[in-house]
Amino acid sequence: MNHQAPLRDMERFRSAVGQRIGLRFDDAKLGFLGEVLQRRLEKFGRGSDAYLWELEYEPSQGEITALARELTVGETYFFRNNEQFRALAEVVLPERIRAQRSSKALRLLSAGCSSGDEAYSLAIVAREVVADPSWKVAVRAVDLNPVALEKAARARYSPWALRETPVDVRTRWFRLDGRELALDKSVRETVTIQRSNLANDIRSFGSRPPMTRSSAGMS
């Protein structure tokens, strides 16, 4: 039988998750957190104090990865919240192109990239807006969930993942391969996929925080 963890333990768990993984949960998610905590305790057959102490002070990489799988939402799709991508194409990128005219380089960050849909959407928009081939455009896609990153690296998607993708974009950048749609190689090569925990690895992304677009950033 699955029992609900005590409120004190759920609060400690929520705080530790925020510190170690960078995920924030409001009070409405405490029940969900309690269920996840209980599953972890049952898996290890340990008391909550021992498990929570280890998570707070000496967490293993394996446990951090397992929690990322449990706690992150993997549901995403190409051009999700399409109005934001329109703003990127019509306002943000033209401004950054003017600002970066001397270096001819744009770097974009997709944080919490999941299966890569958003990161590749950023790359597609950038390739369509930055027509000059002398420009260097690079998208860095990071996530903590290795299963999601494996799917991102494959760059093959179901038609459902492209349900909000404009028809002309879909035709230009994807090819049908069996029941899947394979992303064009030139877009794939724009994106670097990396396993990273932003809660601990923020220094690797530079001292100046990027401008943000949802969970994506750019410089």
What pLDDT is stored for residue 102 in this prediction? 94
Residue 68 in tokens = 């990322």
Q: Contact 180/156 with Cβ under 8 angstroms?
A: yes
pLDDT in tens, 162-219: 999 999 999 999 999 999 999 999 999 999 999 887 766 554 545 433 333 334 455 5
Q: Contact 120/140 with Cβ under 8 angstroms?
A: no
Output 64 or 141, whichever has higher pLDDT: 141
CA 170, 176, 180, 183 torsion: positive or negative? Answer: negative
pLDDT in tens, 74-88: 678 999 999 999 999
With 0-12 CB in 10 A as exposed, 13-18 as middle and 19+ as buried, what is 181?
Answer: buried
Measured CA distances, 55 to 40, 45, 46, 66, 154 (Å) = 11, 15, 13, 12, 32
Asked if pLDDT for residue 54 goes beyond 70, the answer is yes
Asked if pLDDT for residue 127 goes beyond 80, the answer is yes
Dihedral pair phi/psi, residue 191, rounded to 5°:
-105, 130
With 0-12 CB in 10 A as exposed, 13-18 as middle and 19+ as buried, what is 9?
Answer: buried
What pLDDT is stored for residue 4 in this prediction? 63
Q: What is the mean pLDDT of the chain?
A: 86
